[in-house]
Structure 1
């Protein structure tokens, strides 16, 4: 649809006075634009050039909000709906993320905007935002153009004859491979390679990627991402013959505070040692080790989890992590959490086992409480509280 056709259809639609419920996609984009308008009104008094730019942004955002309001009236033709999908999310993906660390990185100017991209058959994949604090690398990937009915992360599980398979929507990510200085990350030796994951974002056409670095490059069979490297991302989309390949430079953009502990507790055949805690404006990393007096069974593996709570009662929001078995009796945990809202004076680690819906089962669905949260069997005897330097962490958090 051309801009002329869009304007004509908007004009005709605006003359009709029939009220209809605003679709969720339109409501969300409308809210994003209004939020951006409110933010543009704040801040210090800009100079004349900045005032012009700011006025232009406000006018453009206000026009977009008016356009979306008309679209929300219910007169949305298929052509207009497709055009609507091409309106980008205002303010970037990080700004709308559920993770406080990503929003903080945006606010503190720790995010780089490489605009690195690749294009196939009129569809563009673009890396818009990147932040790397030395341990957690995060970046957003935006899909633009193309005739797609589903989001970039949409798929469904289809069961047939007792078997199941994953079916991806056209234009959805089927596979992602990362290269570090030209070397494929999946070829790195051992289980100590960095982990690459992705998840949906506030925009159906964008995803958030996380790459969790390893703690110590001196560990045998371990690969540690350097502070600066060339990242190459190879993305395979459903319906495309060739993968999209995007290359960009990455460098560490945030400092960290590392607290070494070594505190240990033993109970009921388990010995838990807290190795260290790492804080940055973007993330919190907990590293600990649990040794058992027996070999870990399949039922035990993956069912030992941890709740992390700051001294002010704030629970850590887990983003990811891994458990590695250096031997059959030991598990080394690296747990990735969002940053805390406020710098704590101490951090308490509370190990627990999830309660299964079937009390006699060791696998399957979990039992939920009245709030829809997993029921937890805490091992209070192993709880540990680690004191940290609140002033140093606060300085990190409030860096401007």
Structure 2
């Protein structure tokens, strides 16, 4: 049966990201506009003012000296990585990211430092860190450009806006060869506010019928930059940075009305918590549910009632089908809990609308939990 990514499901994931995003990041209009323009390429915009492409000259010069020592292999020694960290304006990408999982990867050394760069027209883009925990691949990218580019009205405000036509490959194979037939692997670009850095991120769809990524592979990153004629190409080595990930297969099913929700899998790593759910409708297709404003999202709580921040997600369904399989990615758990609880919900919209959200006092999108579909999964006993 032909399969396709349900775009409304991706929109639902974006809606939840909007709800969980701190106030200093303006997701709503930027993400939705990008969603309409590039359905498969999802990104977040920082709510900062216009920024040029210039970095302090001393910092750039010092970084060049350090990077030159590693040019032969592309990998940086721990001492060199720490030296980079001490240079003003050269903090590690994952350290600055607003992603608790990537910060944990930085603190625990669950990533690889590297210098893989390409330069055209005086503009350089470098991959400086990569993390792979078996669930998501995260690549830290940094931009340096001539000072003359700063302030030019024709120049983009950020690296995220400057990158176009992004294509990825795994060991020379197009990334989407790893997706289920008829589907695409979504690409996320998460900018770091007030910097010329971002995190490029993607996940395989192995829980939705696709292929798992190898534990070690060569990632080809091909893209263009606004204002630069020649394309950029980075060859980035990726390897699994975590071991002994905890994987549960509870198959816990709940029923409510015409909805059956089943938790197929729970994956815990030091970097990511991944929940795979199966949603089945009776007498209605997934597309019809979304178009009627009945999209279902998920919140995750530990056994102490702490809500775990949402990171990203994606869903796949048969064309015209009534089954939706989703991966919802959350921040890592501080420790292995006795259990976790998945709370499905509906978004709350303004009267006579299925596109405008109601907001609470903190400016977050209101939701209504569906207690009949709530599922609690034992964790510690399975360790």
Higher relative contact order (CA 8 A, sep 6+): 2
Distance of aligned partners of 1:57 and 1:125 in 2 relative to their CA distance in 1, 3 Å threshold: closer
Whether contact under 8 Å (1:135, 1:215) holds in the other structure is: no
Match of 1:262 in 2: 251
Paired residue for 1:183, among 168, 173, 185?
173
CA distance in 2, matches of 1:176, 1:95: 24
The alpha-carbon deviation at position 338 of structure 1 amounts to 1.4
Tell me the residue number matched to 2:270. 281
Residue number in structure 2 paired with 1:300: 289
Distance 1:228 1:57 in 2: 27
Q: Which residue of 1 aligns with 2:131?
A: 131
Question: Could you tell me which residue of structure 2 aligns to residue 101 of structure 1?
Answer: 101
Shift of 1:350: 0.8
Q: Note if contact 1:193-1:224 (Cα within 8 Å) is conserved in structure 2.
A: no
Offset of residue 89 of structure 1:
3.2
Contact 2:160–2:189 (8 Å) recurs in 1: no
In the TM superposition, 1:326-345 aligns within 5 A as 326=318, 328-345=321-338
Partner of 1:381: 372
Q: Which residues in structure 2 correspond to 1:199-348 (within 5 Å)?
A: 199-216=190-207, 219=209, 222-255=210-243, 256-296=245-285, 298=287, 300-301=289-290, 303-326=295-318, 328-348=321-341
SS at match of 2:234: strand
**Alignment gaps of 5+ in structure 1:** 1-22, 34-52, 65-86, 156-171, 393-400
Deviations 1:263-315 (A, max 9, x none): 11111111111101000000010001011112226452282111111112221
Distance in structure 2 (CA, Å) of the matches to 1:250 and 1:154? 22
Residue 198 of structure 1: aligned partner: 189
Runs of 4+ in 1 over 6 A off after TM superposition: none
SS at match of 2:95: helix
Contact residue 277 and residue 286 of structure 1 kept, 8 A: yes
Name the counterpart of 1:19: none
Describe the shift of the 1:210–1:384 C-alpha distance in structure 2 as closer, same or farther (beyond 3 A): same
Partner of 1:82: none
2:315 and 2:83 map into 1 onto residues whose CA distance is 47
Displacement of 1:130: 0.6
What SS does the corresponding residue of 2:104 show, helix, strand or coil?
helix
Question: Based on CA coordinates, which of the two structures has the bigger radius of gyration?
Answer: 1
Shift of 1:232: 0.6
Contact 1:151 1:205 in 2 (8 A): no
How many angstroms does 1:249 deviate by? 1.4
Query: Does the CA-based 8 Å contact 2:278-2:325 persist in structure 1?
Result: yes
Separation of aligned partners in 1, 2:150 and 2:304? 46
| Residue in structure 2 matched with residue 152 of structure 1 by the alignment | 158
Structure 2: gaps spanning 5 or more residues: 1-48, 60-78
* Secondary structure, counterpart of 1:340 in structure 2: coil
SS in 2 for 1:95: helix
Separation of aligned partners in 1, 2:150 and 2:381: 49
Partner of 1:89: 90
Distance in 2 separating the partners of 1:320 and 1:216? 15
Tell me how far apart the structure 2 counterparts of residues 310 and 193 of structure 1 sit (CA, whole Å).
31
Using the alignment, how far apart are the partners of 1:110 and 1:325 within structure 2?
Answer: 33
Query: Would the aligned equivalents of 1:347 and 1:385 in 2 still touch at CA under 8 Å?
Result: yes
TM-score by length of 2: 0.71
Instruction: Sort the Cα spacing of 1:269 and 1:345 in 2 relative to 1 into closer, same or farther, 3 A.
Output: same
1:178–1:297 CA distance, 2 compared to 1 (3 A): closer
Q: CA RMSD in A?
A: 2.9
Identify the residue that residue 371 of structure 1 maps to in structure 2: 362
